[in-house]
A and B are shown apart, each in its own frame.
Chain A
Amino acid sequence: MSVPHPGAGRVPEATVPLRYLIAAVLAFVLAAAGVVALAGELAGHYYHPRLAALTHTVTLGWITLTIMGASYQLVPIVFARPIWSERLARWQFALLVAGMIGLVAHFYIAEFSGMLWAAGVVGAGIVAHLVNMAMSLRGLARWTFTARLFAMSLAGLVLTLGFGVVLAADRVARFLPAAGFFPTLHSHFHLALLGWVMPVVLGVAARVYPMFLLAREPAGWPGRAQLWGLGLGVPLLTLGLLASPWLARVGALLVAAAVLGHLAWVAEIARARRRPALDWGLRFVLTGAACLLPATALGLGLAFDVLGGPRLALAYAVVALGGWISLTIVGMMLKIVPFLVWYRVYAPQVGRAAVPTLAQLARPALEGLAWWLLTGGVLGLAAALAAGSAAWIRAAGAVLTLGALAFAATLGATLQHLRARTPAARAGSAVGAAVQ
């Protein structure tokens, strides 16, 4: 007789994370196309309302929606805890999407009072996520490495939201001193990158990379480097950006230590893996991890004033957001979305009918094309931004857009299986729709 593990198997309906992930992919394609459209602006200074619109399409629309959607799938798996409220997750999604559209649109037309209202709606969506995650993790018995980093990321999200609201309000009320705006903006960006996104990626990677690559879960000093590096480094970097360059440099070194610890683990997992062949999802993930090296080097260079200027700052942002995070997310989505579709469509048929494996849901050729285009596009875009060439930025943006479309097409092909269910499943859905 099977004995259920507490909390296991209580994954939410597949449509909950899927709606976030699908919206995120749309934002990704839009952002890539935005690079082409805004090549002229990108060749100049990074503080431009339209570039703020582009940046938030990436950070909120693509990255944050993905992390939040994936959280609804991964929390029950990684922490064996059920999601506290699927209904709240659906409301949260509506708030976030409505708020993000308003935020990006108002940034684009530089209408800041409307932008502030939209930021409030986004804030409400983020608060809903925080409540849902906090309640889901309430009473967690074991605060593992992943759980600690996950909690840290939620704290980072709170601070990112706080700084974002301050900046949005300042665009209307103008209360920040002139010299304080850019430090606050830089803090907001780094809290999002290192306080919100990095802990959750590092924490989840430590659990799911070994699962995907069939390796032992990593241990040892790299874990401590990640925990302490981010736990101390991000607050110091934030304070330093606001008040003291030296403090920022100490914070940057600590964050670099965390990155080193993460890369040491990724290398160890990849070396000891029992799965010799890498599918494209795993190649994306490993390529994303490799992008951390140039991103960290650029970040340290900027922190220590070895490098400077808005072009290199933009290149740094692209290598971090487009290289490390985006390629990692693409890789993870190529694992998560097929599973969600398979779980919804084929899992109930196992043992009663022939069902495909997850690999059979994939389109390797299309995924490979997406890898070449996205990797080449990101690196090309970083180089074009560093050079300040609008033409090259446009060209790299076009490559990136094609890559994003190829990626979206692979997911679209997978999602087609939701329609191409067995006759029984199709008819069952029709019955369900008819009576609801």
Chain B
Amino acid sequence: MSAFDRAPFIVIWETTRACALACVHCRAAAIPHRDPGELTTAEAQALIDRIAAFGPRPPLLVFTGGDPLRRPDIVPLVAHARARGLAPSLTPSGTAAVTAERLRALRDAGLARLAVSLDGATAESHDAFRRVRGSHRHTLRILASARALGLPLQVNTTVCTQTVADLPALARQVEAFGVTLWALFFLIPIGRARADQALSAADIERVLEWAADLAARAPYGVKTTEAPQYHRVLAERGRAPDAVGRAGRAVTDGNGFVFIDHVGNICPSGFLPEVAGNVRRDDLVSVYREHPLFTALRDPARLGGRCGRCEYAARCGGSRARAFAATGDPLGEDPGCAYEPRAAGAHAIAGGSDAPPPVTLEQVTQGLGTVLDPELGLSVVDLGLVYGVRIAGDAVAVTMTLTAPGCPVHDLMPEWVRSAVLRVPGVEHVDVALTFDPPWTPDRILPGRGSN
């Protein structure tokens, strides 16, 4: 059983379809005004509670849209998610509505990451893609404001025929923005997106090779959406995915990924809008774990075509959304993949001799030892800040404290620890829990480790 059978890695909630932009590729075919059928605040809070119920390691939660800032209750909903132990992210549209004050309110409510779309290296190319003049300027302003507020940043870029030439220049800009993660969204022809905008399999392969080169040297992580073969490309190079708090394998439609649309429909992803239930009447956790569509999407043996024969099926699995858009069969072959599987019966190889060695406490402790208190120059281990480490397969849970509850690195430390532990070979999930019970005292410093 995969960890993704119990809980998704990420939940995307389409808070609204209202959006001031009119992007040429929009999956949601966003509309100018809010749909009266959208989830109410109470329903949204109930949804968040159910997402938290996936625990003990609840998934990442992304508030998307449309433009989530079109919902007046978005800040309280972020706070509600944070209070439920979730790490909420938000993907606002690049408009004047995203002010520094609203970003500050979101940060103070507990927003863990802000994801902003940037689809062109110049104002002309971006605005042409978004079909609203000034969107590029607003996007850069949002990035600067969020950065000044200390909000972790993610840049999302749609990869399609219109944007692919801008990718190298965008890569340099993304570095300049100081982002944590650059997410490349490979276009799926649904909503307003047309089939002729999608890249060919050969072009996708070239972009993925380029992305793998970039990831090896970039100071930020690179991830792909609807191009899970990126994990195959990395595996062919003997590399693990970048350790930026991400899953160690592909997260694909229904397999580590679940999408709730603006009226509560539960789908494998926004690009695979097959409805498996509705949060107004169905339990999200049960639908994700038990609905036949979801269980089928998580079973590599059910895949068809080259995906079904591929030795990387368990690691990649292909884009189910692209297969669905091309053939109407979500379990069919991904036409966006150029790879030819080597041999039949490859599943056993993928899940057997390729399995990584077990993660040891010594390895995790060694990783934690690289996280230093900047003032004292001592590691969190030497300071006695780590109260406990639990290892379950590829998942590591760290319980730790800080020298004081108001420690100024309070919001940063969990991410530092997560990044350090994710560098340990074989670790794919890291949860960091902060506690102040019992409070830290200097007596916890390891003997002989006084700072110099």
Contacts and interface: CB of A to CB of B under 8 A. Distances in A.
A18 to B, nearest CB: 13
Contact of A8 (B140, B410, B431, B452): B410
Given A357-B374, A435-B144, A351 B442 contact: no
A428 B177 contact: yes
A428 B144 contact: yes
B148 to A, nearest CB: 6
Contacts of A416: none
A232 interface: no
Given A9-B410, A77-B404, A358-B374, A423 B175 contact: yes
B414 interface: yes
B406 interface: yes
Given A353-B219, A359-B377, A434 B410 contact: no
B441 A216 contact: yes
A276 B452 contact: yes
A2 B432 contact: yes
Interface in B171-194: 173, 175-178, 180
Interface size class of A (residues with CB under 8 A): 35 or more
B175 A212 contact: no
Nearest to B398: A2
B108 interface: yes
Interface in B240-259: 244
A10 B152 CA distance: 14
Interface in B400-423: 403-412, 414-416, 419-420
B149 interface: yes
A10 B375 contact: no
B451 A350 contact: no
A211 B144 CA distance: 33
A274 B420 contact: no
Contacts, number: 161
A351 B419 contact: yes
Contacts of A216: 441-443
B410 A4 contact: yes
Contacts of A346: 374
Contact of A339 (B143, B408, B434, B452): B408
Contact of B178 (A335, A357, A428, A436): A428
A349 B374 CA distance: 12
A309 interface: no
A14 to B, nearest CB: 9
Contact of A1 (B149, B375, B431): B431
Interface stretch (B9-17, B40-48, B80-88, B303-311): B80-88
Given A214-B442, A357-B377, A428-B147, A3 B141 contact: no
State the 5 A-B residue pairs at the shortest beta-carbon distance, nearest first.
A432-B144, A427-B176, A351-B419, A9-B411, A2-B414
Interface of B: 55, 57-58, 82, 85-87, 108, 110, 137, 140-141, 143-145, 147-150, 152, 173, 175-178, 180, 219-220, 244, 371-372, 374-377, 403-412, 414-416, 419-420, 431-436, 441-443, 445, 450-452
19 contacts: A1-B87, A4-B82, A5-B405, A5-B406, A5-B410, A7-B406, A9-B412, A207-B404, A214-B445, A274-B450, A277-B452, A339-B408, A351-B416, A352-B220, A357-B377, A424-B175, A428-B147, A432-B144, A435-B144
